[in-house]
Amino acid sequence: MSIVDSAKQAAQGLMMGAMQKLVPLAPDSWIPGGKPDPLIARKHGLIGTPVSRLDGALKVKGAARFAAEFRFDGLTYAALVYATVPRGRIAEIDAGAAEAAAGVVLVMTHRNAPRMKTPPPFGSGANAVGPADLPIMQDDRIHWNGQPVACVLAETQEQADHAAALLQVRYAEEPSTTTVAGAVANGTEQGMFFGQPLRTDIGDAEAALAAAPVKVDEVYRTPRHNHNPIEPHAATLAWVDGALVIHDASQMVSQQAETIGAAFGLPAEKVRLTSPYVGGGFGSKGLWDHQVIAAAAAKLSGRPVRIALSREGVYRTVGGRTLTEQRVAIGAQADGTFDAIVHTGLSVMTPHNNMPEPFILGTRCTYAARSFALKVEVARMNMLANTFMRAPGEAVGTFALEVAVDELAERLGIDPVELRIINEPEKDPTTGVPFSSRHIVTAWRQGAEKFGWAVRDPRPAMRREGEWWVGTGCATGTYPYYRMPGAEARLTLTRDGDEVHAHVAVAAAEMGMGTSTTTAMVAAERLGLPIESVTVDYGDSAIPGAIMAGGSQQTAAIGAAVIAAHNALVADLLKLAGNDSPLAGLSAAEVGSVDGGLASRSDPARRESYASILARAQRPQVSVTKAGSMPLELMHWSMHSHSAIFCEVRVNAVTGELRVNRILGSFDCGRILNPRTAISQFRGGIIMGLGMALMEETQFDERNGRVMNPSLAEYHIPVHLDVPEIDVIWTDIPDPHTPMGAHGIGEIGITGVAAAVANAVWHATGKRVRDLPITLDKLL
């Protein structure tokens, strides 16, 4: 990070710290969510009913166009060449054979690439989402093994790939840091996350730990993980009349358009980015080098470009989850109450971005304790910049914390479920603010009953069926409720005779979780219209506002923006209705939407349809655009989704083979808007957690900083035979302080899963695994 960007983040951190002291003191009524959303009380509408995804039919028929399926006339195809050293300079490039190859249009390197600015790195500005504080193909410097050093354009993809293989690059290698030990020897620093230090100290936790009659103190390790979306990263783009048009797979549509524009010195209105379908993201579908390189190559060649990364290309240029080494120590009294929680350790980063794995976040809010010592330290290595990956921090942090809690339960002789309930906090244990909604005990009780936990023998290695040891385990999962600022919504009502159609436009992204369907449901409910009368536009930077599909916050961000737009729409409609309407004299606060029109909340007989209001005003339509409120509720209440994960495993006594036999997730995530898509989200998260537990590991060659298993043949993820039947239940208790009473569900599914598997393995075999993944060599 540059000095300027670091200063900006420090200033943001100071501002955030001041707000965190003042906002909790404000009355509830001053805070967004201080009054419950009216939709929470509506129990007989669309919300809470299973609705099929509106885009489902398009995907089944192959009519949904993904980024690499758009076309321009004169389209060329790109292939990248990647550096093979971790640090140094490009000493020589021999492009002769590549340039002479059949079909080649252009070979672009740092020597002929257009001059560009460094894309503003993530966090350096409101809409900055650059991957790192590095110029892209502007000089001869090499910063990681896998950095793109050349781009070949050709008439077909096969010709581009062939020509790229002919390019000869010689490097002048420089000293680098590619080992964890070397990085630590160079010195560590305090980890930061969104401008705030990853550190919490309450009381003297080390002294309390030493004095505790029962304790656990262990080190837990998680490896690097790589992203593997179903659709690898791709973009199709062209320069049209001095403007840049990009069809991409992006979780951050408006922000990415603005950041790319900054690299080329373009104003926001000169970059149009569409992303109707993302093809799986989980944090990875943002701005990386390949989109900027493709835009530069298109500018240099005067031809449109399609760039589709190979699976190996994703591993070389797209960040993932970095490794962690975590110490978790818990001291407790004989009754199970916690005296101290110590959760500290190491995360590794590149020198050129500021995104450590914030593994202590979940520990801040999960259990009550008399003292805390939580800290993330960072060491830096010459490697690809890491990035967000589903439940960053919580996914790996809950593994360490929840295995430690299980170990403590064993030493105390207390049931693992009961130990967690014993230490349930009444308020946020590290900030002291009240919870907005927390029903994890209900989730534990319901989950334990459905799973059949009560018949479990607490002793390990007591159940064997033939060659197989059988055991069960559990773990808590948590993930914060987020709502990022910047979201806007445009609501348009159009009259066609006596019928009215609503059009909703939000600058959101559809990653496959059913965002457009949920948005249509919520808008229909809020407007009092059938869902068939609502259409949704999204995934286009031309739409006002900036909504990021990440942090499980997109539904909340959209919901708050639609609330604001609906309030403004009601006010405008009342003005149009005038004095001849049954609504005359009522304020917007006294009116609600119902049955295709507006009605008095206190006297429903005073109503008028949208069609009638527009017809009398001689207006074919009315449209408003409004931003959601600032998310001050995040500082006023402690807001989280929760899970209780139960797992049964079988471990072969002869081969060490591990099979997950069954798994149940019991979730407390506020009100569930669409059960059909929610189940898919929960199950998908659990499957990703099974991959983390059983097999996922990026093999990193510490001799040269190169990823050694950049393919799905060598980087293993769960397949059908690895995944058992997954049972999902939820409390469905609305949070009175969030839009629709809902919490995000995209990330909570993965948290706690790896720990539940590891704890079940201990119960089956008596062997405690503290180092992921749990491969058979650790069980023999």
Catalytic residue annotation: 747
Which amino acid is it at 324?
A: T
Tokens 């436009």, residue located: 505
499-506 vs 104-108, strand pairing mode: unpaired
Question: Are 212 and 220 contacting, i.e. CB atoms less than 8 angstroms apart?
Answer: no
Tokens 């339509």 belong to 621
Q: Is 721 exposed, middle or buried (0-12, 13-18, 19+ CB in 10 A)?
A: exposed
Sheet of strand 726-730, all strands in order from the earlier edge strand to the far edge:
464-465, 468-480, 640-652, 658-668, 726-730
Cβ atoms of residues 521 and 47 within 8 Å: yes
Taking the CB of residue 312, how many other CB atoms lie within 10 A of it?
Answer: 14
Whether the upstream peptide bond of residue 773 has omega within 30° of 0, thus cis, is yes
**In 359-498, which ranges are E strands?**
372-380, 464-465, 468-480, 488-496
Written as six digits, the tokens of 543 are: 């739409």
| 742 and 677 Cβ atoms separated by less than 8 Å | no
Question: Is residue 242 packed enough to be buried (19+ CB in 10 Å), middle (13-18) or exposed (0-12)?
Answer: exposed
Q: How many CB atoms lie within 10 A of CB 324?
A: 25
3-state SS assignment for residue 169: strand
Instruction: Note whether 636 and 25 are within 8 A (CB).
Output: no
> Alpha-carbon torsion 608, 612, 618, 620, what sign?
positive
Handedness of CA 181, 185, 186, 190 (dihedral sign): positive
What is each CA distance from 56 to 403, 509, 525, in whole angstroms? Answer: 39, 15, 21
> What is the C-alpha to C-alpha distance for residues 711 and 697, in angstroms, rounded to an integer?
12
Residue identified by tokens 């760039």 is 307
DSSP string for 239-307: EETTEEEEEE--S-HHHHHHHHHHHTT--GGGEEEE-S--S--TT--S--HHHHHHHHHHHHHTS-EEE
Distance CA 715, CA 705 (A): 17
Measured CA to CA, the distance from residue 598 to residue 570 in angstroms comes to 8
Match 């000169």 to its residue by tokens: 270
Q: What is the amino acid identity at position 452?
A: G
Least Cα distance to 438 among 404, 405, 475, 476 occurs for 476
Give the burial class of 765: count Cβ atoms within 10 A of its Cβ; 0-12 exposed, 13-18 middle, 19 or more buried.
Answer: buried
The three-state secondary structure class of 371 is coil
Distance CA 261, CA 282 (A): 24
CA 229 from centre of chain: 13
Give the neighbor-by-neighbor strand order of the sheet with 141-142.
141-142, 88-94, 168-173
Locus of tokens 């001041």: 18
Give the number of other CB atoms < 10 A from CB of residue 201. Answer: 12
Short-list 379, 330, 372, CA closest to 357: 379
**One-letter amino acid for residue 584 of the chain:** A
| CA distances, 384 to each of 313, 326, 571 (Å) | 12, 22, 51
- Count of alpha carbons within 13 angstroms of residue 196, beta-carbon side: 13
